[in-house]
Amino acid sequence: MFIEDKIKLQFYLYSAILALLLYDIVMNLKELRIKKRISQSKASFLTNIPLRTYKRVENDPSYIGTHKYIYAYKKLSEFVPKSSKNVPQYKITVVGAGYVGFSIAVLLSTHHQVTVADIDTRKVQRINNREPIFFDKEIELYLKTKKLNLRATPIDLDAYRGSDFVIIAVPTDYDEKHETYDMSNVINTVHDIRKVNKEVTIVIKSTCYIGFTESLKDPNIIFSPEFLREGKALLDNIYPSRIVIGSDNNKIAKQFASIMENEALNSPETIFMSPSEAEATKLFSNAYLALRVAYFNEMDSLLSKFSLRSELVTSGVSLDPRIGNFYNNPSFGYGGYCLPKDTEALITQMKDVSNNELISSISKSNRSRKEYIAKDIEKLIKPEDTVGVYSLQAKSSSDNTRFAAIKDVIKELEKRNVHILIYDSNKMTLDEFKNKSDIIITNRYDSLLDDVKNKVYTRDLFKRD
């Protein structure tokens, strides 16, 4: 008994010492934050911990010792505050208040005078009222808590007068008839800018085909692609994976690069290249992401056919560090606004290249996946069954339904005369939807479906986008 008591005493003693050490780390986190003049809001962004949760690390002892807070201490320790001295303030106009344009406008308006110009008057009004115009929790937080030098206006020539930079982030939809992007929005915007501001630096963020920017023959135009996720656009601007500047004008290239670098909380690599090389970087980046989605979807289709556990095989494959455990969650197919059109545009430009089989097969694989999903669902239902579609969103972290893969699955099911019921919270309750549906299909799983899990069809193996 004495030995057992001694062991227990040692255990309690070591636990107490460990708790004190961890408590000291957590308490020093607050001191460290104050010493480095980091606000709690900024610390939340630096550590990627929700603000409400981050505040508890400094006040709630029950959170002591959790790994995310030790990680937070490490992140704040590594943070080197940037000097704001001698950083010029610019007058910047952003044309287009979509995911790309509005997230950049919000980011830059913390240090610069930013005007957002858009054709949608409802968006203009919401922005001026500091209301979010799409789902992005970081943007919502900035609108609520930050002092932003930001205003919105309808698109007109006055928006371009006196600007130091004009950033173009207007849509460039893929024109299937001509097998290229419809660049008319960008071309018209450039022409309007030059009517009233001959020297301003124009930065094109809209996706272009390779060679477009150089075809404009304007030395004061930069092509600088974005690499953003829907629902996390501001976060990806704050922590950019890289900054790519496509310009043959060294002076304006470095000037714009310094603006973006100053806003980044990490230390991204900045790469300078020609405009056409920057355009290629954007297209090949998105084509690779599409290829990766298609690859894991094809693997999932085959494993499902043989009744093998796809989540285990996918995990086993992804643990190879050369492959990586990311962008590997099976889905109904890739969708959204960027991947489909950018892949198609690249395929078109590679038609004259002899060994273009890999890139050209990506879209074909994606179409086959949607057909496979529809056939798989059809096997599970009776002719009189109702197939409920839980969400039309491309991913759970976005409110965007444009070109979502599930829409093509619906079309395939409709060809087979399957009765479809799409959940609309404005027309029915979730319980009504569940009761009316014999099977529920969803590209990404939601815990709200836990009570009817037995009739949910999804290929979402890892419950993440």
- What are the residues facing 180 on neighbouring strands? 175
Do 230 and 208 contact (CB within 8 A), yes or no?
no
Give just the sign of the alpha carbon dihedral 6, 12, 15, 16. negative
Token look-up 């395929």 returns 347
Q: What are phi and psi of 303, to 5 degrees?
A: -65, -40
- What are the residues facing 204 on neighbouring strands? 168, 223
Largest CA distance in the chain: 92
* Full DSSP string of 268-308: PEEEEE-HHHHHHHHHHHHHHHHHHHHHHHHHHHHHHHTT-
Residue type at position 97: A
Strand 180-181 and strand 201-204: the pairing is: unpaired
Whether 338 is catalytic:
yes
Structure-block tokens of residue 8: 């227990």
- Active-site residue among 338, 374, 394, 410? 338
Do 163 and 200 contact (CB within 8 A), yes or no?
yes
**Rounded to 5°, angle at Cα 139 from 135 and 145:** 135
CA distance 155 to 247: 26
Would you name the residues annotated as active-site residues?
338
